[in-house]
Amino acid sequence: MSSYPRWKILLVAVVLLIAILMALPNLFGEADALQLAKDRAAVSASDRTKVETLLKGKGIVPGGVFLEQGRLTLRFDSKQDQLKARDVIIEGLPNQFTTALTQASRVPEWMRSLGLNPLKLGLDLRGGVYLVYQVDVQGAVRQQLDRFEQDFRASLRNARIGYQDVLVDYPGNRVRVLFRDADSFAKGKAAIVADNRSLSFTDTSVNGSPAIEVLLNPQQIKDRQDYAVQQNIVILRNRLNSPELAVSEPQVARQGVDRIAIQLPGLQNSAEVKKILGKTATLEFRMVDETNNPLEAAGTGRVPLGSKLYYTREKQPVLLKRDVVVTGDQLTDASFQPNTQDGAAVSVSLDSRGAAKMLKNTQENIGHLMAVVFIERSREKNAEGVEVDKTNEEVINRATIRGVFSNNFQITGVNPIEGRELALLLRAGGLAAPLYAVEERAIGPSLGQDNIEKGMHAMVFGMLAAFVFMAVYYKFFGLIADVVLLANVILLVSLLSLVGAALTLPGIAAVVLTVGMAVDANILIYERIREEVRNGVSPRAAITAGFDRAFSAIFDSNVTTLIAGIVLWLFGTGAVRGFAVVLVLGIATSMFTSLMGSRALVQLIYGGNRKIERLSI
């Protein structure tokens, strides 16, 4: 017993002190807060001073103000102050910040400076918004077929080869290119194959005309559908993590074959988030048809050949050339610029392909008008309450090309609100397939608080029952076990805070299970000690034998549970994975506290040179 190394006792003490420090932020609770963010820039210390001065002038004093991850969070003592502060900032500093109502911890500033944060709570405990979107996977396949059609037409146009038509068969998942004769068939097939070497083409005929076709096989269809779901998940995460929305700790995960579940813990005003999530936005740059009259075309309904009729936001008709200069999929970046010579603007960057096209177009059309068409697709309910796809196309900008440019330029003529939204949608990328909202659940803070209370009651009562049992059955050693169990919970909470895992109701169940497993470990040790004492072994030797000989049984039982927890974590989703994370960490903490923590505490009490007559076990 006296041979137990002192460095191990010191290690246990240091680990426990660090765990207590890391778990302390969880004692302070949360308060209503306002989160401010800027587009494409971090909120600075001067911005913080500006906001605090503005609020102070209106008699509003936040309970806490701190900068974190480029965002400014202001904590308030009441909901009334939170809402009043939001209105004051929007009116006093227009278009400078994006605001979001949320909740923030009451952790003191010195703890934040050390990087100490409270345990994250899941949606079922903290409240917030739960959304489920269904991905139109068939629409993703149709988009792929449409892209084939556009690529085939472009290949034939660039090669200057005549053809009859390009037909898309959506039910049959195929695209056919019809040619006029054998000569155009041979040349056209060679041009298309050269530009699309990854596709397999089949020779066929339609109504006696030579043709080639591409048919998607079942595996290609499945791959395209999986890609659409995964790509939409990435895009939704990008949008939720953007400064414009200022959403804290969003969780986006696949649910089943074609659904995406989104959890927004702590979010209170979800209207703007939902408005952005389901949108698909892109741009097209087209030259303006300056030779024909758009009013005449709109009035008669006869659009000149080679042109297309659009409308501005003010419902003014505009004739644009059918040939697209640059499309939205050639954009690489977009950022909102609130103050330029022409007002608010969106700065756009193009990839090499788009830059080359824009360079050529501007070189050939200096002095002519180029227009920007904003295309927005969303899913809305009609007058009968049926959800339908809605596409809105409008000209947001017409400007004279005054110089040559290629990959970097600005779109002017947008208001600040539209500019921020446009920059976000373009930068995050277009959705790979349309999204349809199939479920929306708002979990209020009161329900979350109720879940916390019930979960905490279950955990406290379960732990209390274990504590009482150990103290009654194992006497003084039972009290030692109770201290170790409490240390185990503190260590587990600190680890969860460190790794950033969110605690949910299943997580609370895993905490109770972890306590039970730690109790089992102590019982194995104590029963071994009692058995040694009954065999006439001295108290010191019995303690040493109890810890040493119970190790294998404790290790084996925990390893099997650890394997089960890892499997749940790897293959589970949602609540199952949350349970598994807490379980796996709990196994590690219970092994440490039961074998090292308990041994160190017993050494401190029964160690030394004094003679031990009997053990209170």
* Domain count of the fold of the chain: 4
Q: Which range, 106-110, 122-126, 199-203, 501-505, is most confident?
A: 199-203
Answer whether 134's CB lies under 8 Å from 259's CB: yes
- Regarding whether 599 and 472 lie in a shared domain, the answer is yes
How far is 536 from 149, CA to CA, in rounded Å? 89
How far is 394 from 373, CA to CA, in rounded Å? 6
CATH number of the domain residue 11 falls in? 1.20.1640.10
**C-alpha closest to that of 351 among 406, 402, 309, 390:** 406
Average of per-residue pLDDT across 211-223: 88
Residue carrying the six token digits 């997580």: 507
How far is 125 from 450, CA to CA, in rounded Å? 8
- Regarding whether 573 and 456 lie in a shared domain, the answer is yes
Q: Which range, 114-128, 172-186, 343-357, 414-428, is most confident?
A: 172-186
- Regarding whether 15 and 36 lie in a shared domain, the answer is no
Q: Where are the alpha helices (DSSP H) in 333-415?
A: 352-364
Q: So what's the pLDDT on residue 446?
A: 57
How far is 479 from 367, CA to CA, in rounded Å? 88
CA distances from 19 to 10, 28, 105, 514 (A): 14, 16, 19, 17
Secondary structure of residue 555 in the 3-state scheme: helix
Q: Does 185 fall in a domain?
A: yes
| Predicted structure pTM score | 0.60
Q: So what's the pLDDT on residue 609?
A: 59
Q: Name the domain boundary from 363, 397, 413.
A: 413
- Regarding whether 53 and 39 lie in a shared domain, the answer is yes
Answer whether 525's CB lies under 8 Å from 594's CB: yes
Burial class for 519, CB neighbours closer than 10 Å (0-12, 13-18, 19+): buried
Q: So what's the pLDDT on residue 287?
A: 92
How far is 426 from 521, CA to CA, in rounded Å? 56
Answer whether 488's CB lies under 8 Å from 538's CB: no
Q: Does 241 fall in a domain?
A: no
- Regarding whether 149 and 80 lie in a shared domain, the answer is no
Q: Lowest mean pLDDT of 65-69, 82-86, 587-591, name the range.
A: 65-69
How far is 148 from 214, CA to CA, in rounded Å? 9
- Residue 311: band (very low, low, confident or very high) from pLDDT cuts 50, 70, 90: very high
Q: Does 230 fall in a domain?
A: no
- Regarding whether 34 and 11 lie in a shared domain, the answer is no
Q: Lowest mean pLDDT of 290-294, 313-317, 459-463, 582-586, name the range.
A: 459-463
Q: Which amino acid is at 17?
A: L
Q: Are strands 251-255 and 317-327 parallel, antiparallel or unpaired?
A: unpaired
Which residue(s) pair with 393 in the sheet? 375
Can you say how many angstroms the Cα of residue 545 is from the centroid of all Cα atoms in its chain? Answer: 51
Report the 3 state secondary structure along 197-248.
CCCCCEEEEECCEEEEEEECCHHHHHHHHHHHHHHHHHHHHHHHCCCCCCCC
Average of per-residue pLDDT across 482-489: 89
- Residue 172: band (very low, low, confident or very high) from pLDDT cuts 50, 70, 90: confident
Q: Are strands 317-327 and 408-412 parallel, antiparallel or unpaired?
A: unpaired
CATH number of the domain residue 376 falls in? 3.30.1360.200
Dump pLDDT digits (tens) for 25-47: 888 877 888 888 775 567 888 88
Q: Quick one: CA dihedral 470, 476, 481, 484, positive or negative?
A: positive
- Residue 320: band (very low, low, confident or very high) from pLDDT cuts 50, 70, 90: very high
Q: Does 617 fall in a domain?
A: no
Residue 123: how many CB atoms within 10 A of its CB? 24
CATH number of the domain residue 46 falls in? 3.30.70.260
Q: Does 438 fall in a domain?
A: no
- Regarding whether 157 and 91 lie in a shared domain, the answer is no
**C-alpha closest to that of 448 among 99, 107, 121:** 121
How far is 48 from 74, CA to CA, in rounded Å? 10
Q: Which helix (H) or strand (E) holds 34?
A: strand 30-37
Which residue(s) pair with 390 in the sheet? 378
More confident residue, 258 or 71: 258
**C-alpha closest to that of 502 among 105, 122, 23, 126:** 122
Q: So what's the pLDDT on residue 602?
A: 85
- Regarding whether 182 and 85 lie in a shared domain, the answer is no
Q: Does 58 fall in a domain?
A: yes
- Regarding whether 593 and 478 lie in a shared domain, the answer is yes
> Which tokens in the block code for residue 165?
């038509």
- Regarding whether 489 and 358 lie in a shared domain, the answer is no
- Regarding whether 102 and 165 lie in a shared domain, the answer is no
- Regarding whether 59 and 10 lie in a shared domain, the answer is no
Q: Lowest mean pLDDT of 51-55, 348-352, 555-559, name the range.
A: 348-352
Q: Does 123 fall in a domain?
A: no
How far is 26 from 30, CA to CA, in rounded Å? 9
Q: What share of the chain is helix, strand, coil (3-state, %, to 5)?
A: 50, 25, 25
- Residue 288: band (very low, low, confident or very high) from pLDDT cuts 50, 70, 90: very high
CATH number of the domain residue 193 falls in? 3.30.1360
CB neighbours of 384 closer than 8 A, spacing ≥ 6?
A: none
Q: Does 248 fall in a domain?
A: no
Which domain, by its residues, includes 291?
Answer: 281-413
Q: Name the domain boundary from 220, 244, 268.
A: 220
DSSP codes of every residue in 83-145: HHHHHHHHHHSTTT-EEEEEEEE---HHHHHTT--PPEE-HHHH-EEEEEEEE-HHHHHHHHH
Q: What is the mean pLDDT of the chain?
A: 81
